[in-house]
């Protein structure tokens, strides 16, 4: 199988396995789905700690308001009593006024946090170092684990405006957020290798030949952004090793220069005429008045 090391910019994303005769249309579609699926897992995992600490989100018209403003405007959260955590809530006020403060107890909080860590590890970028290829099935498993944990803690479900539920139902609204800049739709997705776009309608073998044991570094790019930057000739780690070697070599040369001293030529033992002078009585001659 051909192994693709998928990057976005200079940052590793995941490893993907395919075949040399695979149509690029299918490869691009699968890579885009995995890439966006991993982003969805990350977005949900970023909300889980807030859910565990401060409960469900308030309705949009109540978020950011003080208690006095809520009373003055006669607003009421109709979902507070419907969406209570298992085992009863523990009040923990949300200082930014985004969630209702009815947090799960410690046992339920542990369920959420442990599942979050497991889901993140399943699709982590560290899988690249472990040489594990990420599949869409792994992404779906991570989402299923998160969904199951939320259902355990909130058996009545989350309110429809909660971002975690919106993510599970594919209703998330990312417009105007930093997260929206990271998403690459299937239609916009491009794969680049060796400064060339891998065109849809062709097959992998049109670019790499028929060797099934090929490993490539490909870059995922949004259509219209042009060619991504080329990979550096040496990695950061290799450059660091080269700099260390250069420094050690400089130190060695410096020590050799310090050792390259010809003062020994003035020593008696280095005088080639010492034996002749000794026979002629020319040694230990002192000049000066007696």
Per-residue pLDDT of the chain (290 residues; tens, 9 = 90+): 899 999 998 899 999 999 999 999 999 999 999 999 999 999 999 999 999 999 999 999 999 888 889 889 989 889 988 999 999 999 999 999 999 999 999 999 999 999 999 999 999 999 999 999 999 999 999 999 999 999 999 999 999 999 999 999 999 989 888 889 999 999 999 999 988 899 999 999 998 888 888 999 999 999 887 777 776 666 677 788 888 888 888 887 787 777 655 555 556 655 667 667 766 666 666 665 65
Q: How far apart are the first and last CA of the chain?
A: 99
Do 116 and 36 share a structural domain? yes
Q: Which residue has the tokens 């230990």?
A: 284
Which pLDDT score, from 0 to 100, does residue 287 have? Answer: 60
- Residue closest to 180 by CA, chosen among 29, 57, 43: 43
Do 166 and 199 share a structural domain? yes
Which pLDDT score, from 0 to 100, does residue 284 have? Answer: 66
Left (φ > 0), alpha (ψ -120 to 50) or beta: where does 4 sit?
beta
Burial category of 146 from C-beta neighbours within 10 Å (exposed 0-12, middle 13-18, buried 19 and up): buried
Tell me the C-alpha to C-alpha distance, in Å, between residue 154 and each of 97, 159, 161. Answer: 21, 10, 15
| Residue 229 counted as domain residue | no
Over its C-alpha atoms, the chain yields an Rg (Å, rounded) of 34
Do 181 and 265 share a structural domain? no
| Residue 83 counted as domain residue | no
- Residue closest to 170 by CA, chosen among 13, 25, 33: 33
Per residue, the 3-state secondary structure of 166-228, as one string, reads HHHCCCCCCCCCHHHHHCCCCCCEEEEECCEECCCCCECHHHHCCCCCCEEEEEEEECCCCCC
Do 261 and 205 share a structural domain? no
Which pTM value belongs to this model? 0.77
Judge whether 164 and 47 are in contact, CB under 8 Å. yes
How many domains does the chain contain in total?
Answer: 2
- Would you call 172 helix, strand, or coil by DSSP? coil
Do 247 and 108 share a structural domain? no
Which pLDDT score, from 0 to 100, does residue 48 have? Answer: 96
Domain limits for position 258: 236-279
Judge whether 228 and 9 are in contact, CB under 8 Å. yes
Do 158 and 253 share a structural domain? no
- Would you call 186 helix, strand, or coil by DSSP? coil
Do 40 and 144 share a structural domain? yes
Judge whether 97 and 67 are in contact, CB under 8 Å. no
């Amino acid at each position: 199988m051909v192994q693709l090391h998928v990057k976005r910019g200079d940052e590793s994303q995941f490893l993907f396995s395919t075949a040399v005769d695979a149509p690029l249309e299918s490869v691009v579609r699968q890579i885009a789905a995995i890439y966006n699926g991993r982003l969805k897992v990350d977005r949900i995992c970023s909300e889980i700690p807030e859910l565990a600490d401060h409960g469900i989100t308030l309705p949009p018209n109540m978020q950011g308001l003080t208690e006095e403003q809520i009373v003055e405007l006669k607003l009421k959260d109709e979902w507070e009593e419907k969406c209570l955590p298992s085992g009863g809530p523990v009040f923990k006020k949300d200082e930014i006024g985004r969630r209702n403060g009815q947090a799960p107890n410690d046992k339920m909080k542990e369920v959420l946090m442990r599942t979050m860590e497991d889901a993140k590890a399943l699709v982590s970028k560290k899988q690249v170092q472990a040489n594990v290829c990420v599949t869409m099935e792994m992404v779906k498993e991570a989402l299923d684990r998160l969904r199951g944990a939320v259902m355990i803690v909130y058996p009545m479900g989350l309110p429809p405006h909660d971002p975690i539920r919106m993510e599970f139902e594919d209703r998330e609204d990312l417009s105007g957020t930093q997260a929206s800049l990271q998403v690459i739709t299937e239609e916009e997705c491009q794969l680049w290798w060796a400064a060339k776009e891998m065109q849809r309608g062709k097959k992998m073998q049109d670019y790499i030949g028929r060797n099934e044991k090929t490993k490539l570094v490909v870059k995922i790019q949004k259509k219209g952004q042009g060619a991504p930057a080329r990979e550096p000739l040496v990695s950061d780690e290799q450059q660091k090793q080269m700099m260390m070697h250069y420094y050690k070599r400089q130190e060695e040369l410096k020590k050799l220069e310090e050792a390259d001293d010809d003062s020994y030529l003035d020593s008696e033992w280095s005088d080639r005429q010492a034996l002749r002078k000794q026979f002629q009585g020319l040694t230990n001659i002192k000049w000066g008045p007696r």
